[in-house]
């Protein structure tokens, strides 16, 4: 599925008629860090202006529904209760309505690409186009149908860190649909969004903890929201990985992905070796026509710019924050950590987050093509580099 020969960029066609690159992953996983690399690789990324979106590079899905992504995604997940579904498993009405909305968005996106190219000083810089929305991970089967031959980059982040991330609106929106039995077992008074995920918490270092009760009472840890975050993270990412791989091996004559790649956001802010391995894997997935020299020049320029930026050290501090979150509650030997671990352990093993504890190692298969193979590459042409504007 990852073989370069499967990817047809359709370079003979105008940019807007080529299959897009789509970036998705759990909210807070680090999808926009992946986007900065794409921008440096000649991918024109659509984004919706207004608010923080200029930094986030998100598209809001208003082309599908006036309320954006939530009603579209919720309608699908309510019928499937899983992310690795087939559109044929939906009711005829939901399948038809969803496909019509997705197709409408696809048409409008292509028009937006045309309009954006007219404003570019050098439109020839772009070889592919794409968009990013974390929640798009739940729509992978529809992307394969609406954009046959597209590439999907699935960004993951350690589920233990995610359990202490402040942005958890997806739990309010999608946890009831993905865990219907758990949801129905709750008393009616506890089924509201603010009961599933409280509106307020406090920080323990970089870790966000739900320990702020209402009416100004003394702080008391509420483990349930963290456990919901953890189980949503595991189920969603395992199932998206499964369906993405399946569609990347599907018959190219029908709904299919040209490439599907799961990328760990930690690999962009840890070591040079991991950075090169992840970046090379992405380039193999979306720019297979590039030579080794072209790849090395692009990745090296991006590494030098990102590694020397003020945000590099700050971003690194955001990883591993789960240790600060559990420290006041018995650390890794406490009930709090145990509850998070048991709800994430399968995905932690699958995505290589338990390597230090004897789990399997994570590999892109490009480690041998890392910084060492690029050391001999010199005389790179000047490249446009997009500097990341926002931090987590």
- Rounded to whole angstroms, the Cα distance separating 56 from 38 reads 14
- Rounded to whole angstroms, the Cα distance separating 100 from 103 reads 5
- Pull the structure tokens for residue 214: 């209402």
Q: Looking at per-residue confidence, does 368 or 136 come out higher? A: 136
- Rounded to whole angstroms, the Cα distance separating 256 from 251 reads 7
- Rounded to whole angstroms, the Cα distance separating 293 from 83 reads 38
* Predicted confidence (pLDDT) per residue in 298-345, tens digit: 888 877 777 777 666 667 778 999 999 999 999 999 999 999 999 999
Q: Looking at per-residue confidence, does 295 or 358 come out higher? A: 295
Average pLDDT, the chain: 88
**What are residue 151's DSSP bridge partners?**
21, 259
The band of 190, judged by pLDDT with boundaries at 50, 70 and 90, is: very high
Please give the angle made by the CA atoms of 40, 140 and 80, to the nearest 5 degrees: 155
Is pLDDT above 50 for 128? Answer: yes
The band of 388, judged by pLDDT with boundaries at 50, 70 and 90, is: very low
154, 47 in Cβ contact below 8 A? no
- Pull the structure tokens for residue 278: 């992840």
- The reported pLDDT for the residue numbered 17 is 96
* Residue that has been written with the tokens 């992953």 in this structure: 25
* Predicted confidence (pLDDT) per residue in 28-50, tens digit: 898 888 888 898 888 999 999 65
Angle at which helix 223-247 crosses helix 169-178, to 10 degrees, equals 70
The band of 269, judged by pLDDT with boundaries at 50, 70 and 90, is: confident
């Amino acid at each position: 599925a990852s073989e370069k020969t499967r990817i047809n960029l359709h370079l003979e066609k105008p940019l807007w008629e080529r299959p897009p690159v789509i970036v998705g992953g759990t909210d807070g996983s680090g999808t926009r860090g992946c986007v900065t690399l794409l921008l440096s690789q000649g991918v024109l990324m659509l984004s919706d202006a207004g608010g923080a979106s200029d930094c986030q590079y998100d598209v809001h899905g208003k082309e599908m529904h006036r309320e954006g992504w939530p009603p579209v995604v919720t309608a699908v997940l309510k019928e499937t209760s899983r992310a690795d579904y087939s559109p044929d498993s939906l009711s005829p009405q939901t399948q038809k309505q969803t496909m019509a909305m997705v197709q409408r968005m696809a048409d409008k996106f292509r028009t937006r690409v045309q309009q954006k190219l007219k404003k570019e000083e050098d439109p020839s810089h772009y070889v592919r186009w794409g968009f990013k929305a974390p929640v798009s991970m739940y729509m992978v089967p529809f992307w394969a149908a609406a954009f046959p031959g597209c590439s999907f980059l699935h960004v993951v982040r350690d589920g233990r860190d995610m359990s202490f991330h402040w942005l958890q609106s997806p739990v309010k929106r999608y946890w009831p649909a993905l865990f219907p039995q758990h949801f129905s077992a709750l008393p009616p008074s506890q089924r509201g969004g603010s009961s599933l995920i409280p509106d307020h918490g406090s920080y323990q270092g970089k870790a966000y903890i739900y320990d702020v009760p209402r009416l100004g009472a003394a702080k008391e840890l509420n483990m349930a929201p963290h456990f919901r975050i953890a189980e949503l993270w595991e189920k969603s990412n395992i199932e998206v990985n499964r369906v993405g791989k399946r569609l990347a091996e599907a018959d190219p004559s029908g709904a299919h992905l040209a490439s599907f790649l799961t990328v760990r956001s930690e690999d962009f802010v840890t070591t040079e070796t991991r950075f090169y391995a992840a970046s090379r894997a992405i380039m193999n997935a979306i720019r297979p026509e590039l030579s080794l020299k072209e790849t090395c020049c692009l990745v090296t320029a991006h590494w030098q710019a990102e590694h020397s930026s003020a945000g590099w050290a700050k971003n690194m501090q955001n990883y591993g924050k789960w240790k600060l979150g559990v420290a006041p509650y018995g650390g890794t030997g406490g009930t709090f950590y145990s509850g998070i671990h048991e709800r994430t352990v399968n995905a932690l093993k699958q995505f290589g987050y338990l390597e230090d504890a004897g789990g399997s190692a994570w590999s892109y298969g490009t480690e041998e093509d890392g910084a060492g193979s690029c050391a001999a590459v010199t005389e790179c042409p000047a490249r446009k580099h997009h500097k990341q504007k926002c931090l987590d």
